[in-house]
Chain A
Amino acid sequence: MTSETATARSDRARAWFVLLLAGAFEVGYALSVGGSQGFTVLSWSLVAVVFFLLTLFALSLALRTIDVGIGYAVWAGIGAVGAALLGPIFFGENLTPVKAFWLTVIIVGVVWLKLSDSPKRTRTERPAQP
């Protein structure tokens, strides 16, 4: 019984690590899609394809253990915040206070939305999982 709980706990810890990784991949995806200049720059385009596959794979892996709503919320939140903060660093864009304010409103809104989408889906989807 105790060993079972310990296994479950380490599974959860691993799933959360994979989820954070998926969030980081999503940031890489957003930045490289931007850097690809409409997929005309080969290096950034290839990096974008790799990040696209990595983020999808890591997210689907994490969502086997973590609740769909919570998982999506964390993943989307990391992706959007990361892109907003790193965009200016990589591409010399400027993040003015007004822009940062409205971005915060959007990101808080989508994270909240994903979180409030979670409990019902869990109840209906969990029994279907093997």
Chain B
Amino acid sequence: MHWFYLGIAVVFEITVAISAGKAQGFTRPAWTTATLVSGGIATYLLSLALLTFDVGVGYAIWTSVAGVGIVVLGALFFGQRLDWRKLLGIAAVIAGVVGLQLSGAA
């Protein structure tokens, strides 16, 4: 169940990143509201995941997988290029998550 909570928390953290970018220093009310609401939901779900995960482990997975999601969405929908550097970073994050899981730390 903790992986499920963390997964949904990741989705809302990606929403935070996108809406915070569009809020332009929190000068646009609609995007600012979207940022705060999705941030609140992400935070609550993260806290549920952290009931099981160690704080350092759960937090690192959450923020990193969200980072991967942002880059992948950028490539899919916003025409940003997925070059070898980004793929290397994505591979490292995935390797780290899998490693934590397989070693029993997550």
State the A residues within 8 Å of B (CB).
29-31, 33-34, 36-39, 48, 52, 56-57, 60-61, 64, 72, 76, 79-80, 83-88, 90-91, 93, 95-96, 98-99, 101-110, 112-114, 116-117, 120-121
Residue of chain B at shortest CB distance from A55: B39
Residue of chain A at shortest CB distance from B53: A34
Complexed CA–CA distance, A60 and B22 (Å)? 11
Tell me which residues across on chain A come within 8 A of B58, comparing CB atoms: 34
**How extensive is the interface on chain B, given as a class?**
35 or more
Q: Is B28 an interface residue (CB 8 A)?
A: no
Do residues A113 and B100 form an inter-chain contact, with CB atoms below 8 A?
no
Residue of chain B at shortest CB distance from A106: B96
Do residues B43 and A56 form an inter-chain contact, with CB atoms below 8 A?
no
Tell me which residues across on chain A come within 8 A of B10, comparing CB atoms: none
